[in-house]
Amino acid sequence: MIPTLLVILILVFAMVRLLPGDPAVAILGDRVTDEAVAKIRAELGLDRPLPVQFWYFFERVLRGDLGNSINLKISVIRLIQDRLPVTLFLTLYAGVLAAVLAVPAAVISALTRGSWMDNLTRAIFQIGLSLPVFYVSLQLLGLFGARLHWFPVGGIGPTPASNLYYLFLPALSLGFYLAAILMRNLRSSILEVLNAEYVDFARAKGIRPRLVLTKHILRNALISTVTLFGLSIGQLMGGAVITETVFAIPGVGRLMVDAIFGRDYAVVQGLTLAFAIVIMLVFLLTDLVYTVLDPRTKVA
Amino acid sequence: MASEVAATGATRRRARARIARPKPTLLLGLTIVVAMLLMALLPHIVAPYDPSKFDYDAILQAPSAAHWFGTDNFGRDVFSRVVYGARVDLQIALFTTLFPFLFGTLMGALTGYVGRWLDGIFGRIVDVVMVFPFLILVIAIVAMLGPGLRNMYLAVSIVGWVYYARLVRGETIVQKQSEYVQAARVMGYSPARIVFRHIFPNAVTPAIVYWMTDMSLGILLGASLGYLGLGAQPPTAEWGVMVADGKNFMVTAPWISTFPGLVLTLAGVGFSLVGDGMADLLRPKS
């Protein structure tokens, strides 16, 4: 994990250095005085050799200093502190909605294998795999927001709890793709488990069908799905860039797009790093959950 | 033996039918992909209007016999733009995946066969690529290079090859242990010959299957970047750009974004069904 983080730091450092022209100008923007450029050059140590520059960068990141946003006149770390929670909430909300959609659908589809129910469910989720997030977002926004006024047309609510309502459409459009992936995976693992001898045995013992389903079938089938869920959280955060842009949600995703168009490179740099760190933590968490679900892996 | 089983013409025909009959979903996928290809290759025959011609006498018209998908705020025929868009979006599907496929399979075979330090370096690259959401990484690179289709291809290529390499690497390691490779080694063949003549053809199958699915992902990615303004630039008739063009008319003229998005989804479904179907056909029977 530490070596990976180091490589990521080098990449993020290199991002701005790879820009054509003077990084100081890139960071400050074009319309600046020569003194300002000279000041930032000295501050960043741009007149020193690259390894020394990297060391400075490294030191600053360790101190939690990611530089300042030129457009918003505020430190990047503050921006991340303000906006990351919104994106994390949205991502988590989308993940929960995805699971709520996928698990029952997978169970019904697997238990009625080959029926019209199964085919219909699979067709819907197959389309879900190919529905672009920006398109779903825009359609839901147009229909339930602008036309029917059931939901707000953008932004976030005044309180965290109200965001369950405010962010419902964004979370749904973001989560649908994940739901499709999870449903597919869970359906096939349920079908695999259904044929296992311990399921036959549990039934033969006379255990109630509902208990066989929850304790014996789902518990085992969910193991690979949980891993997939953890691995997909990163892609979900990527999708948040689009959802947040469509719904005008002040999270880090929209900030990233704004920063790109505003040529606010310190922000792009800081956010890239933040995304990587969050996802590394999610992977770690996934590993932990995995050992809880599947005690066999504890030995390793 | 197979020749004994297939003694009569009837049984032979039946045997062939059993092996080669593709699933209906694969046929559906192929139909969609072929339709998209026709639109891309012969747009001037399919499309009734010039896709970029302004017609101020026919602004924001609802779908009708004259304009199947309606017209946009410049009076451009949405159906014709969707047809011409196929050319751009299929090009995106190809160019976002071709280099990753070629370079990735090559690197996968090499790292898998050589192992040692090369594998170590590759492992580190995979770790790094995996902790970034694909979209974020591509967007960050496009941010550095500047928006546009060419830079988008470049950005996707820088990242995308890793997924192919991972697939082929795993398969190469499996093949490396097999008897025919040991036999080839005993025969004294050079490592290059073993990798490219013997292992590679056997290890490349999962990458080819993934390629089809990846084209579907490539179209969606390209359209997403187009929507954000980082991919194809207006007034290019690209499906993602067209959805973005219509976003301010979602209440008054929803057809401007709805139809390009539907066709985009259809294209995605087509390629992913073909990918799934190929996976079924090429997967070794157990």
Rounded to two decimals, the pTM is 0.85
Whole-angstrom Cα distance, residue B42 to residue B47?
Answer: 9
Considering the domain delimited by B24-282, tell me its CATH architecture: Orthogonal Bundle (1.10)
- In chain A, % of residues over pLDDT 70: 94
Residues of A in contact with B140 (CB under 8 A): 15, 256, 268, 272
At A4-58, the pLDDT tens digits run 888 888 888 887 777 666 667 766 666 777 787 777 777 666 777 888 888 888 8
Q: Say how far apart CA B280 and CA B286 lie, in whole Å.
A: 12
Whole-number pLDDT of residue B264: 95
Chain B residues closer than 8 Å to A18 by CB: 144
B228-232: long-range contacts, CB 8 A cutoff, minimum separation 24: B228/A134, B228/A241, B228/A242, B228/A245, B228/A257, B228/B139, B229/A261, B229/B147, B230/A260, B230/B139, B230/B142, B230/B143, B230/B147, B230/B152, B231/B92, B231/B142, B231/B147, B231/B148, B231/B149, B231/B152, B232/B88, B232/B92, B232/B148, B232/B149
**Which of B131, B223, B265 comes nearest A127 by C-beta?**
B265
Torsion, Cα A229 A231 A234 A238, to 10 degrees, reads -80
Distance (Å) from the alpha carbon of B131 to chain A's nearest alpha carbon: 5
What is the four-CA torsion angle of B157, B159, B164, B166, rounded to 10 degrees? Answer: 160
> Using a CB-CB distance cutoff of 8 angstroms, which residues of chain B are in contact with residue A146?
250-251
Under 8 Å CB-to-CB from A110, ≥6 apart: which residues?
Answer: A118, A186, A187, A190, A191, A194
Tell me, what amino acid is at A118?
D
Give the span between the Cα atoms of A2 and A4, in whole angstroms: 5
Q: Which residues of B touch A261 (CB under 8 A)?
A: 229
Nearest CA among B44, B66, B65 for reference residue B57: B66
The type of residue at A161 is A
Residue A300 has a pLDDT of 44
Instruction: Report CB contact under 8 Å: A242, B131.
Output: no
CA–CA separation, B141 vs B154, rounded Å? 9
Q: Is residue A21 a contact partner of residue B145, using CB atoms and an 8 Å limit? A: no
Three state DSSP letters for A33-45: CHHHHHHHHHHHC
Peptide bond into B235 cis (omega under 30): yes
What phi, psi does B266 have (nearest 5°)? -60, -45
Interface of B with A (CB under 8 A): 124, 127-128, 130-136, 139-140, 142-144, 216, 220, 223-224, 227-230, 240, 243-244, 247, 250-251, 254, 257-258, 261, 264-269, 272-273
Q: Which residue has the tokens 């939901």?
A: A151
Q: How far apart are CA A267 and CA A29, in angstroms?
A: 13
Residue of A nearest to B271 (CA): A130
Instruction: Find the mean pLDDT for residues A232-250.
Output: 90
Residue owning tokens 């470049």: B154
Partners of residue B143 in chain A, C-beta under 8 Å: 259-260, 268
Distance from CA of B209 to the nearest CA of A (A): 17
Find all residues with CB under 8 Å of B196, minimum gap 6, and list them: B109
- According to DSSP, residue B194 is labeled I
pLDDT in tens, A275-286: 989 988 888 888
Query: In the prediction, which pLDDT does A19 show?
Result: 66
Angle made by CA atoms A249, A255, A257, in degrees to the nearest 5: 105
Nearest to B223 by CA among B62, B91, B126, B68: B91
For residue A44, the model assigns a pLDDT of 65
Q: Measure CB to CB from residue B269 to each of A126, A246, A261 and give the nearest one.
A: A126
Give the closest-approach CA distance of A224 to chain B in angstroms.
18
* Selection from A228, A227, A193 nearest residue A213 by Cα: A193
Q: Do B139 and A130 touch (CB under 8 A)?
A: no
Please list the rounded mean pLDDT of every run of 10 residues in chain B (286 residues).
46 52 85 94 88 85 88 90 94 94 93 88 86 85 86 92 92 88 89 87 88 91 93 91 91 92 95 89 64
Give the residue among A221, A275, A193 at the shortest CA–CA distance from A5: A275
- Chain A residues touching B272 at Cβ < 8 A: 126, 129-130
Look at residue A8 in the predicted model and tell me its pLDDT: 86
Give the model's pLDDT for residue A21: 62
Sign of CA dihedral A230, A234, A237, A242: negative
How many whole angstroms separate alpha carbon A296 and alpha carbon A156? Answer: 43
pLDDT of residue A223: 83
Tell me the residue type at B44: H
